[in-house]
Amino acid sequence: MDRSCPLCGRDNRSVGACHYSRPPWKLKRCSGCGFVYLENAADYSSLRDQMAWHKTYAAEAERRKLDNPVLYSASRASKALIQRLFKPDKLISWVHRYLVPGPVLDVGCADGHTLERLPLEFIPYGIEISSELSAIARQRFASRGGHVVNADAIHGLQQLAERFFTGVIMTGFLEHETNPQGVLLAAVRIMGAGTRLIIKVPNYACWNRAIRGKDWCGFRFPDHVNYFTPALLTDLLTHTGFRIVRFSIADHLPTSDNMWLVAEPR
């Protein structure tokens, strides 16, 4: 489907594709707000089946490995080493710091591996569009009193109880969602007083993207449909009813491929 800018709604079909595009996938830079997004993103029905994230991710990883096997292997090894030596589990740290024990929702939970790492005082719930992955997550969460809804994010959020959750997690999700504003607006309804939202997305403004160009690790076709800068991510949250709790320069360094943010409903 061809979509308008998911941030400001401008129709950019007359705008030429960005040079980062990979046919048949068309990246557009909005002529209004400057947001970069995939215009011809897959629809929800496709994401349930042949375009499911875990299938396209594996295909993209294989393509990168074949295109440049030495760089691919070196990159994976270096990231694993840096993670092990210098980077604690940031999600777990932020959950302890910003979320209240109770039911926590992972939007786009995949097979449930993220919330499975949380301490027992957090009850895992999830929304996952893939039937295959949601079945795995449901088994993982059931033993801890949680549940998984097999649906796209907006329809999944509509099925959940109002102001039920003490925390919401969207790590590695918003870059995949064709309607990020709709998801955030729907999320406000299920968040109780003091409920925080933790977000992690690729940082389109990072230096690595400028240096590596089309080979930047953040470009994944057709999985990633939104490419956020710190300013535009902030605009998205404030325009959908959230207050930024944490988003310091340390959380979106230009040297980092990713950025993290904490917000809460106003």
Q: C-alpha distances in angstroms, 3 versus 39, 42, 226?
A: 5, 10, 12
Amino acid 78: pLDDT: 54
Q: What is the pLDDT of residue 214?
A: 95
How does pLDDT run across 47-92, given as a tens digit for each residue?
Answer: 666 555 555 555 555 544 566 676 556 555 555 555 554 455 899 9
Residues 33 and 6 sit within 8 Å (Cβ to Cβ): no
Q: What are phi and psi of 35, to 5 degrees?
A: -70, 140
pLDDT score, position 43: 86
Calpha distance 227→37 (Å, rounded): 6
Nearest to 209 by CA among 180, 229, 235, 232: 229
41-265: CATH number: 3.40.50.150
- CA–CA–CA angle 182, 186, 191 (5° rounding): 145
Which token pair is 181? 């504003």
pLDDT of residue 148: 98
User: C-alpha distances in angstroms, 191 versus 46, 53, 111, 169, 242?
Assistant: 29, 26, 23, 11, 11
C-alpha torsion angle, residues 187, 190, 194, 196 (rounded to 10): -40
Within the chain, which residues score under 50 in pLDDT? 63-64, 85-86
Q: How far is CA 7 from CA 157, 237, 238, 249, in A?
A: 20, 10, 12, 23
Question: What are the boundaries of each domain within the chain?
Answer: 41-265
Q: How many whole angstroms separate alpha carbon 264 and alpha carbon 266?
A: 6
SS3 (DSSP) at 124: strand
Determine the length of the chain: 266
Query: pLDDT value at position 86?
Result: 47
Indicate the burial class of 73 (C-beta count within 10 angstroms; 0-12, 13-18, 19 or more).
exposed
Cα 140 to Cα 128: distance, rounded to the nearest angstrom: 13
Q: What is the pTM of this model?
A: 0.87
Pairing state between β 27-29 and 122-128: unpaired
| DSSP category for residue 112 | S
What pLDDT shows up at residue 241? 96
